[in-house]
Structure 1
């Protein structure tokens, strides 16, 4: 699978470990090396700003999509290839998903987690057929990965759907895994299969 653009979800803070910003910068440079455009939340702060700045510094395309309420707080990155201002967070997420061929989550907080889970849910439900990846800088996503395995064991998540979220600590290996990913054709509802 070839990607024209990848949506990157990332923290609006840099996090406590310098490895997080290093991973964001490495991912941004790699996207440009592979001819892949960046779609992201449009911020100039935190890991969001780091990945966008890395893409722009390497001569790539960075498209930011930000709600007006955040743009008005002067959080928007003004040096992007394109900055799209929308009215709501829902519009932001829908447009980010529409304009991307895959999703990568860098370390981040509740907003990052919410966005990546929504993207994975849309893949699970067949709303889109796009892979979701976790760039596991400094092991940040390991507890989340363990939680997904717990969900499989507890009977709330199919193993096939759990594998829709790939994880790697190296940006190149993660992009390769996303390119190799193929959607599965199984129903979501475990209970219906048993009746």
Structure 2
């Protein structure tokens, strides 16, 4: 069974299209027997996608730091919930548990997690594909920033081109799985994290 880590908001956003997209993607995960690995929360888009996978009979693995458990945001109905001490441990374990990564709309945490995975690939800590689910054009400004970074000489075009992007969930999932089959390695170099 393939596992995909999802990075997304602990908020749902103002537009219902974000919740709808997260729910539809979770349903698709369950139908295609893809194990969801995510941040372990019951709130926001995180809770929506986890609930959709579980409702479809799928597997959901959460990884959450103790500080968020203490704030009572942990999802208690998951297939498995790993409680770790730090955000660094959370990200490392999510990377180890996943074959690929997808970001949905979210805030600083989502950007941090996605950019760290991209960086880990760039410096060869891992070799696993990553994608942006561009619901409602949410990531358009971020993509413009990446293009600006290329134009200004801070990002190589081949690095920019490795970011898979689509506003169609099923098409993006297919593309990500295909890329995972071709490139993913089943290891994380924890000494370099």
For normalisation by structure 1, the TM-score amounts to: 0.90
Matched with 1:187 is none
Considering only CA atoms, is the larger Rg found in Structure 1 or Structure 2? Answer: 1
Shift of 1:180: 3.4
* 1: CA distance, partners of 2:27 / 2:49: 8
Matched with 1:86 is 84
The one-character-per-residue Cα deviations of 1:20-50 (angstroms, maximum 9, x if unpaired) are 1111111111111111100000000000000
* 1: CA distance, partners of 2:153 / 2:174: 30
Matched with 1:163 is 161
Matched with 2:113 is 115
Matched with 2:74 is 76
The one-character-per-residue Cα deviations of 1:39-84 (angstroms, maximum 9, x if unpaired) are 0000000000000000000000000000000001110000000011
Matched with 1:50 is 48
* 2: CA distance, partners of 1:152 / 1:176: 27
- Out of 170-179 and 8-17, give the one that drifted further: 170-179
Q: Which of these residues, 9, 22, 25, is aligned with residue 24 of structure 1?
A: 22
Q: Which of these residues, 11, 14, 18, is aligned with residue 13 of structure 1?
A: 11
* 1: CA distance, partners of 2:140 / 2:70: 35
* 2: CA distance, partners of 1:113 / 1:89: 14
* 2: CA distance, partners of 1:149 / 1:164: 13
* 2: CA distance, partners of 1:99 / 1:179: 15
Matched with 1:36 is 34
For normalisation by structure 2, the TM-score amounts to: 0.91
Q: Which of these residues, 117, 138, 141, is aligned with residue 140 of structure 1?
A: 138
* 1: CA distance, partners of 2:15 / 2:132: 17
How well do the aligned residues superpose, as a CA RMSD in angstroms? 1.1
Shift of 1:179: 2.7
Matched with 1:189 is none
Runs of 5+ consecutive residues of structure 2 not aligned to the other structure: 184-193
Runs of 5+ consecutive residues of structure 1 not aligned to the other structure: 184-195
The one-character-per-residue Cα deviations of 1:110-159 (angstroms, maximum 9, x if unpaired) are 00000000011111111111111111111101111111111111111111
**Maintained 8 Å contact 1:12/1:47:** yes
